[in-house]
Amino acid sequence: MTLDATPAVRSTPARRTLLTTAAWSIPVIAAAVATPARAASTAVTVDCEVANGSWTVPGGNLYADGSQGIPAGNGGNYTTGWTPTKPGIWNGSSTVQDSGHATTDWWNGSSRPGGSSPVGFMSMDDRDNRAEASDEPLQVVTTFVLQGISGFTYELDLPVYVGAPYLGQQYLTIDAAGPGVSETIAQGAAGTASITAVPAAYAGYPALSSVQVFKASLTPTSTGPITLTYTFVMPKVTGGARQNADIWVQTPQVANCPTSTS
């Protein structure tokens, strides 16, 4: 396993609107079915597609505007969830989440991270940042799943994008777990520390750039699912607009999908 982030120089997206950014092309990665090289070989199917798992907000609530304590979904502004985005359903008082998808992009126009229909997850809503709110950080936990084959080394690319870094901080940790796999792939902070009640556990997280691609090499010791867990943590914001910075992650990509293995 390697810990490596390769930042690219791109303009910083503003809250709710990405001013300028280059398009991120999603590589087309298909599952490859092996053909035996000779009669004695045993064919093995290598699944190279990483699937969306689930996402939860354990022990708290998201807010569309953390400075005002407005619940996420109020007025159709639910902006955390899977992408591509899907419109919410307005029921007169709040927007019902559409199958866990975000309902609003933080960017617009034709140049978008991930292309015109980016597949991934967006953490854009806030915790409750009102002065009277609790100081307890809020978590959003998202999983992606890869069906691993014993002994095959998966070279993964994990793109991460940051928006609104002038707002309060948001933290990201990426972990991998599976048969013979237990790794922390990346940790990072987005946003401004000076207006954030930074928890001691996250004080040493390195700053995320507007765009980076983390890399990992994972070799399961037996066949079974490898779960990639993205934990987004939003602490209390004490100054500025009292909102948390935004993070969008592309669904991880297998960079070395084989033509065959046997």
Domain containing residue 234: CATH number = 2.60.120
* Model pLDDT for residues 187-212, shown as the tens digit of each residue: 999 999 999 999 999 999 999 999 99
Region label for 122, one of left (φ > 0), alpha (ψ between -120 and 50) or beta (otherwise) = beta
Work out the pLDDT band at 36, boundaries 50, 70, 90. very low
Query: Residue 105's pLDDT is what?
Result: 74
Q: What is the mean pLDDT of the chain?
A: 80
Is 88 part of any domain?
A: no
Query: Residue 25's pLDDT is what?
Result: 37
Stretch among 32-46, 79-93, 126-140 having the lowest mean pLDDT = 32-46
Stretch among 3-7, 54-58, 69-73, 153-157 having the lowest mean pLDDT = 3-7
Is 77 part of any domain?
A: no
Is 136 part of any domain?
A: yes
Q: pTM value?
A: 0.80
Is 97 part of any domain?
A: no
Query: Residue 100's pLDDT is what?
Result: 84
Query: Residue 96's pLDDT is what?
Result: 60
pLDDT higher than threshold 60 for residue 232:
yes
Stretch among 51-65, 95-109, 142-156 having the lowest mean pLDDT = 95-109
* Model pLDDT for residues 115-144, shown as the tens digit of each residue: 777 899 999 999 999 999 999 999 999 999
Is 96 part of any domain?
A: no
pLDDT higher than threshold 90 for residue 2:
no
**DSSP per-residue codes, 78-121:** ---EEES----EE-SSSEEPBTTB-SS-S--SS--TTSSS--EE
Could you give the number of structural domains in the chain?
1
Stretch among 83-87, 171-175, 216-220, 239-243 having the lowest mean pLDDT = 83-87
Is 17 part of any domain?
A: no
Q: E-strand spans in 89-218?
A: 89-90, 95-96, 120-123, 138-148, 154-163, 170-178, 181-190, 211-218
Is 164 part of any domain?
A: yes
Is 147 part of any domain?
A: yes
Find the domain containing 194 and state its range.
4-11+50-72+120-254
pLDDT higher than threshold 90 for residue 254:
yes
CA-to-CA separations, 247 to 14, 78, 82, 208, in angstroms, rounded: 12, 15, 12, 10
